[in-house]
Amino acid sequence: MRNGFRLIVEIDGAGIEAVNRKLKALGDVRASNAMRNGFRKWTKRVATIAKSMIPPGRSAPTEKVRGEVRPNPHIRDFVITKVAGYSKGKVIWAAVGVKELRGSYATPHWYLRWVEFGHDLKRAATDEERIRLVTRGERRRKNMTVKVGEVAGRFYLRRAGIAAEPYLLPIMEQAIADQVLKDWAA
């Protein structure tokens, strides 16, 4: 999996039947607009909650990595939302994630997974540990490390989705009502 990860949410359960009936009554074009508008509002709420949960990083605009000065982007500045369409009476998905510019240091992709999912803390192996690793079959030099700790993942996107889940159906109901009012006014 690439470093860009997403939170994907689908509406299901008892509340979906009422939403689907109302959407079918609107017709394809109006239902599509109502779904996109509802999901847009909801994903913006999830993104706002996620931004508040993201741990603060260093505030310096640049950082020095291996003697090279690079931009120091923050995850909070790259949280985006994506909403797919509505098709044939079925409720679809929306995604919240972090925008990734492949091959660029202007995006936080290189440390993104560390913050979200956690990582191991390692150090170089001593001579004795290196001998032990070789006797256990390790031949690659880059694997001559010893785990000394672990940093737990924050899972802020997942927690933001869970925190905003109760708002999903009311926001969808409101989007459908707004679409009906828009049609009556026209």
27 is a domain residue: yes
Judged against a pLDDT cut of 90, whether residue 142 lies above it is answered with no
Per-residue pLDDT averaged across 33-58, rounded? 87
Q: Whole-model pTM? A: 0.74
Judged against a pLDDT cut of 80, whether residue 67 lies above it is answered with yes
CA angle at residue 43 from 7 to 105, to 5 degrees? Answer: 60
Q: pLDDT at position 1, please?
A: 36
Helix locations, the chain, DSSP H:
14-26, 28-53, 109-117, 127-135, 156-164, 168-185
Q: pLDDT at position 171, please?
A: 92
Percent with pLDDT over 70 in the chain: 85
Per-residue pLDDT averaged across 97-101, rounded? 78
What would the two tokens of residue 26 be?
Answer: 């609107």
Nearest-10 crossing angle of helices 156-164, 109-117: 60
Contact by Cβ (8 Å): 118, 151: yes
125 is a domain residue: no
- Number of DSSP helices (H) and strands (E) in the chain, helices first: 6, 7
Q: Which amino acid is at 178?
A: D
Q: Which residue has the higher pLDDT, 134 or 17?
A: 134
What is the C-alpha to C-alpha distance for residues 94 and 80, in angstroms, rounded to an integer? 11
71 is a domain residue: yes
* Total number of domains constituting the chain: 1
Judged against a pLDDT cut of 60, whether residue 179 lies above it is answered with yes
Cα radius of gyration rounded to whole Å, the chain = 23
Q: pLDDT at position 2, please?
A: 47
177 is a domain residue: yes
Contact by Cβ (8 Å): 94, 60: no
Lowest mean pLDDT among 31-40, 61-70, 107-116, 127-136: 107-116
145 is a domain residue: no
Q: pLDDT at position 11, please?
A: 64
107 is a domain residue: yes
What would the two tokens of residue 40 be?
Answer: 């847009």
Quick: pLDDT tens for 101-128: 777 777 775 677 777 888 899 999 999 9
What one-character DSSP code corresponds to residue 106?
T
Contact by Cβ (8 Å): 176, 26: yes
129 is a domain residue: no
Sign of CA dihedral 171, 100, 62, 145: positive
142 is a domain residue: no
Quote the domain boundaries for residue 20: 6-117+153-185
Quick: pLDDT tens for 53-65: 887 777 778 888 7
Q: Which residue has the higher pLDDT, 8 or 101?
A: 101
Q: pLDDT at position 86, please?
A: 59
